Amino acid sequence: MRNFILPAAVLALMSSANAQQTAYGQCGGASWTGATTCVSGFYCQYSNEWYSQCVAGTASTTAAAGTTSSTAAAGTTTTTRTTTLATSTTSTTAAAAGTGTAKVDELVGYGRAATGGGSAAATTVTSCSALESAVAASGAKVIKVSGLLSGCGIIDIESTKTILGVGSNSGLTNGGFRIKDADNVIIRNMVFKIPPASGDLVALDGATNVWIDHCDFSTVGLTGGKDDYDGLLDITHASNLVTVSWNKFHDHWKGSLVGHSDSNASEDTGYLKVTYHHNSWININSRLPSLRFGTGHIYSSYFEDCPTSGINSRMGAQVLVENNNFNSVQLAIVTDLDSDDEGYAVQRNNVFTDSTTRITQTGSLTPPYTYTMDAAASVPAIVAAYAGTGIVG
């Protein structure tokens, strides 16, 4: 019997070895047994010891160390395809007006109209059941969460709510928030650690006028399967007018997804307007954020040790990326990854250290609000000192 089984096994192995992975599929990593070569027009890009991915282009598209990318004038669109590796500060346009010292306790950006529960008297909760009841109540409410509540599951947040963590270690572990079809929600000073399996820590689904500020998001790092948990903060289904500020995102596979599907243009186009500022993103594999169809303004944030991709603009999304600091980030800004249609990006006054970019289309974005940025060189120290919990509230 062995004489018949052995050739079949050999043939199976030969078939696996000769197979080619489809576009954007996995092509390597620890314990990976599938195809390790990619279809024509794609190559297997190493991300880390656990994961490699088939991406567009050839392995020789990376430019020599020390080259810098250029940014076209606002309003133009370019389609040149380059990958650059920057080892020092790169600056391609003059500093934008408003560079200075940003205020730590101020709401700016697309979510600037959010008022949450306003001046309503605060209710303090110390259990999952009390929190769930408080956020489900009608009318404007201010809810203070005292302590790290475990095992709450996914809690739905209703409109006109402010949720504040008490001190520096209050929030949820093995639980998360969902803001679905709700308006005017503020979440500040909360710890979010480890969601339910395959879930998000915070999910916005058809939500509008939302401010996420001074929170801490994490799971267990780049271990286990990348799909064991979903995103740290995902914004989908035409959610709109959101500000994400002064947060710490760390130790996870998937950071923040804006727009959940390439096939959702009819719902998402014209929405998904999000401002990210003064956040830190450390030891996260990708999606810092990843945007489809929407509009993203990312400024004065710090990115470190992100092995696959950073800010990913796709499916026609427009992003303005300015005064950020990138350290050891693969594809810190990219516009042709993971989707059939490319996105647009404008980058200016960023610092890149051992980090690559691949901007294939340069569009234009002028934010409809005033804002103050910090100089990119100062951002790592500023964000380390003032982002996350224990600063406000």
Residues with catalytic roles: 287
| Alpha carbons 52 and 43: distance in angstroms, whole number | 10
| Alpha carbons 154 and 252: distance in angstroms, whole number | 19
Is residue 286 a contact partner of residue 314, using CB atoms and an 8 Å limit? Answer: no
Half-sphere exposure of 321 (CA within 13 A, CB side): 35
Is residue 330 a contact partner of residue 311, using CB atoms and an 8 Å limit? Answer: no
In this structure, what token pair is assigned to residue 285? 């594999």
In this structure, what token pair is assigned to residue 265? 């243009």
Q: Which helix (H) or strand (E) holds 3?
A: helix 2-18
Is residue 293 a contact partner of residue 323, using CB atoms and an 8 Å limit? Answer: no
Is residue 71 a contact partner of residue 92, using CB atoms and an 8 Å limit? Answer: yes
Q: How far is CA 258 from CA 111, 168, 275, 357, in A?
A: 15, 28, 11, 20
Q: How far is CA 135 from CA 22, 56, 66, 179, 236, in A?
A: 44, 45, 51, 10, 21
Is residue 298 a contact partner of residue 332, using CB atoms and an 8 Å limit? Answer: no
β-partners of residue 172 are 149, 192
| Alpha carbons 44 and 129: distance in angstroms, whole number | 48
Give the torsion through C-alpha atoms of 218, 104, 187, 190, to 10 deg: 40
